[in-house]
Structure 1
Amino acid sequence: MVTGAAFAAVMLAGVPIGLCLCLAGMVYIAASGNPLLFQSYPMQLFGGVDSYGLIAIPLFILIGEIMNGGGITRRIVEMAMAFVGALRGGLAYVNVLANMFVSSILGSATAQVAIMAQIMVPEMERKGYDRTFAAGLTAYAGMLGPIIPPSVMFVVYSVLAQVPVSDMLIAGIIPGVILTVLFCLVIAVLGWVHGFPAGEAMSLRRRVRTVLGALPTLSIPVVIVGSILSGLANATEAAAVGTVAAALVGRYWTREFDFRQLPAMLGRAGIYSAIVLFLVAAAAVFSWVLVFGKVPQDVAGWIRTVAKDPVTFMLLVNVILIVIGTVIDGVPGLIMTVPILLPIATEVYHIDPRHFGVVVTVNLVLGLLSPPVGLCFFVAAAVTGAKPGRMFLVTLPFFFISCVLLLLLSVWPGLSLALVKP
């Protein structure tokens, strides 16, 4: 109780979530009357990041840096334009499809929204779309980043849950594709109701030239996902090969990547990676405290009185996590909830941890698009000047269709596990 009160107090005071977790652990040890536990504290911190799979995080982030600096993102947008740009609401489709392709390289919702909002929103506004809708659509399309591999959130979850990183990345493919299709269906309905403008039709020659010019950029996700699916590489090795592929494509195909940019890119990737890895280390201490305090057992006892079967449990988890996700960012949300909920899911309701990880991740990412925080909306607003509150209102259909996906994933585990080797 004292630990929970201390955690809530420092978090409300604006202390970063990683430090909150570390301080909560110290308060628990002090309150337990067993000072010898302080000797184990550094070991728990180190143990949290002593995982080979975590090497994939800085590599995935570096891929995104190289891709953005090498002009690869722009070519992916142009390729999406060649496929669907001439349809009614064509630029809205392009926004979603380009985000799907980019998400297979970036893996971060906030980074993806920041990049794609700069590219798509001004273009959509020039073609007659409302700026607020364009910014909100870009924020929702950014949901695909943590779902379609590679995904920093999946890597963190795999370490917390002790499951293979490759399995988690593969488990996100089908849900990510389904979410893309659902978003396109919403755009089709909204385009018919609101009369979205039709895009500019390309000649066949220009369309072929655009697609052929962008095809080499797709070698990056093909290398990453293909090497994992084929068993030729694990997630960390695939990330390393993908980094080399991104550098080669940016340097010798798009010719916009200069190796002199690399030190700055490595610096930015290192800073973001350090933040994520510190959170993971703090999570190890927090999980250790929860186990000593028997919190998972107490929560399991309460949930058993409410949820009598796995489906009911998953629906309850959906509600809990969406609420948590509205005020806490994705990775910290994973760190706070997985140590408590995962043992209940696997031991009490016999839910596959990989399926549970997909549902948890989609929940917390949806929280990034829900008031009162809605971090992705604020990122889009900072880039475009749109108002976050109105952004949420005009894109409510995308929120509801995302909830439909959550229900489907909760009821049918096969949507997550179909491609994963048993």
Structure 2
Amino acid sequence: MVIALILFILTLLSGVPIAIVLGIVGVAHIFEIGNPAYLSVITQRIFAGMDVVGLTCIPFFIVAGEVMNASGVTSKLLEFIRSLIGHVRGGLAYSAVMIAMILAAILGSANAVASILCAVLIPEMTRDKYPEEFSGALIASSGILGPVIPPSVTFVYFSVLSNVSVNALFMGGIVPGVLLGLGFIVVIFLSIKKFNLPKGDPFDLMKLIKTFFLALPALLVPIIIVGGIMGGIFTPTESGAVSVLAAIIAGLIYRKFKFSMLPAIFVRSAVATAGIFIIIGFGNVIGWSMAIDGIPQAIQAAILGLTTSKTLIILIMLGILILVGCLMEATAAMLIFTPVMLPIATQVGMDPVHFGLIFCIMLTIALVTPPVGMTLFVTSNISGISLNKLSKAVIPFVLTAFIVTFALAFLPDLVLFIPRALGIVAG
């Protein structure tokens, strides 16, 4: 494994795409193991990683994001929420978090939420004289609510890797998602004086009522999706399909969406889906090679050999996830570290659903941590804001997210409250 590890570090630092890194390292590790028979099944392992029914919801969520981006749904949500809270100082910043929470319940992806918010909110925040680095950091950070509030692509993938109930993960993500959103609101409140955040227009009840009815089709979309999942009406894949249909209907109501847009939407969605699935396929090679070489068991023995304290072991795992998140793409990290950490967590008494939520949230926060934070890159590219500026401005949001997640790691009853109330997780 030593050669494979050195190769991993060198290729990662040299900027090789993460999918290629995983493929190269997986093949190198198989050579290290020294059994030529394993080489003949590499192609099979690549396709086995991608050929999973549970992953079929991913392209649906990507298409839904593209449709939402084209259909004017976000602008209607912005008008309503600004009329609700825009009159307070920093109201537009608060609106960004609230819109992100609504979009998260439709899209399930950090990059989709961040890209839509960039397109709609950056011009508004620039017009209201918000500092660009604060605006970009807020939008990138709000994007990470996408994979936490259900439905979630990240939770789906963890479920596929671990056999933990995806519905339990979805319902368990509600409380952490809301708490992360509240944490970001606290950061905004503490930033009002520092950045001299402005007020919006005075409160107008008639405008609030008007914008509410205009935003109602957009507001109903997440209610239908999350309600359908909670009620057992939709499977995750079906919820993805419903999100596409609901986004198209909302776009037609707003007269922004045209069916002629679909070919371009499908092309962009296919490219994005292919990128994710290539990472999953190549990542499955290294995950398999590590399994047959007994690497997960060796790491488990090393960690459990240090201490038997549940508190310390949880803290060690959280520390490892911070380091991993700063260096590795989230999908690849999940594939490699799920079989390593899940057995440790269950051995020290963590509920698999509780661990899965904390594990996924930690890797989701990594989407906005330098140097590999993909959502930071997306926000920087779309908004034109310097990546260096974003990397500094995002620190308060990242620290807040870590504080909330560390607290939730030791508060399982809070995280599992909704799944237990719905009877998905045993009380």
What range describes the TM-score normalised by the shorter chain of this pair?
over 0.9
Measured in 2, the distance between the counterparts of 1:299 and 1:306 equals: 11
- Secondary structure at the counterpart of residue 199 of structure 1: coil
Partner of 1:225: 226
1:407 is aligned to 2:406: yes
Letter in 2 for 1:405: V
Q: Which moved more, 1:234-243 or 1:371-380?
A: 371-380
Q: Which moved more, 1:230-239 or 1:363-372?
A: 363-372
1:367 is aligned to 2:366: yes
Partner of 1:33: 34
Alignment RMSD (CA, Å): 1.9
Partner of 2:397: 398
| Distance apart, 1:194 and its partner CA | 4.8
Measured in 2, the distance between the counterparts of 1:135 and 1:32 equals: 46
1:299-341 deviations in Å (ceiling 9; x for gaps):
1122113342333222212211112212222222222322322
The TM-score, its normalising length taken from structure 1, stands at 0.94
Partner of 1:160: 161
What percent identity do the matched residue pairs reach? 34
| Distance apart, 1:193 and its partner CA | 5.3
Partner of 1:381: 380
Letter in 2 for 1:68: N
1:329 is aligned to 2:329: yes
Change over 3 Å in CA distance of 1:154–1:126 after alignment to 2: same
Letter in 1 for 2:101: M
Change over 3 Å in CA distance of 1:381–1:407 after alignment to 2: same
Letter in 2 for 1:355: H
Would the aligned equivalents of 1:296 and 1:343 in 2 still touch at CA under 8 Å? Answer: no
Letter in 2 for 1:323: L
Partner of 1:93: 94
Would the aligned equivalents of 2:131 and 2:195 in 1 still touch at CA under 8 Å? Answer: no
Measured in 2, the distance between the counterparts of 1:376 and 1:11 equals: 18
Measured in 1, the distance between the counterparts of 2:188 and 2:13 equals: 38
Would the aligned equivalents of 2:225 and 2:242 in 1 still touch at CA under 8 Å? Answer: yes
1:73-122 deviations in Å (ceiling 9; x for gaps):
11112222122111111111111111111122222222322221232122
The TM-score, its normalising length taken from structure 2, stands at 0.93
Would the aligned equivalents of 1:318 and 1:406 in 2 still touch at CA under 8 Å? Answer: no
Measured in 1, the distance between the counterparts of 2:344 and 2:353 equals: 14
Measured in 2, the distance between the counterparts of 1:286 and 1:68 equals: 35
Partner of 1:291: 291
Letter in 2 for 1:184: I
Partner of 2:178: 177
Measured in 2, the distance between the counterparts of 1:375 and 1:41 equals: 28
- Secondary structure at the counterpart of residue 14 of structure 1: coil
Would the aligned equivalents of 2:49 and 2:281 in 1 still touch at CA under 8 Å? Answer: yes
Would the aligned equivalents of 1:279 and 1:335 in 2 still touch at CA under 8 Å? Answer: no
1:121-140 deviations in Å (ceiling 9; x for gaps):
22122223211111111111
Partner of 1:246: 247
| Distance apart, 1:18 and its partner CA | 1.9
User: Which contiguous aligned blocks of 4+ residues in structure 1 show a shift greater than 6 angstroms?
Assistant: none
Measured in 2, the distance between the counterparts of 1:73 and 1:338 equals: 35
Measured in 2, the distance between the counterparts of 1:137 and 1:266 equals: 29
Measured in 2, the distance between the counterparts of 1:123 and 1:290 equals: 49
1:211 is aligned to 2:223: no
| Distance apart, 1:192 and its partner CA | 4.8
Measured in 2, the distance between the counterparts of 1:392 and 1:218 equals: 32
Measured in 2, the distance between the counterparts of 1:21 and 1:193 equals: 43
- Secondary structure at the counterpart of residue 364 of structure 1: helix
Measured in 2, the distance between the counterparts of 1:194 and 1:249 equals: 36
Letter in 2 for 1:286: I
Would the aligned equivalents of 1:76 and 1:102 in 2 still touch at CA under 8 Å? Answer: no
| Distance apart, 1:408 and its partner CA | 1.3
- Mark the runs of 5 or more structure 2 residues left unpaired by the alignment: none
Letter in 2 for 1:76: L
Change over 3 Å in CA distance of 1:271–1:394 after alignment to 2: closer
1:349-390 deviations in Å (ceiling 9; x for gaps):
232222222212221222222233443333322233333333
- Secondary structure at the counterpart of residue 196 of structure 1: coil
Partner of 2:258: 258
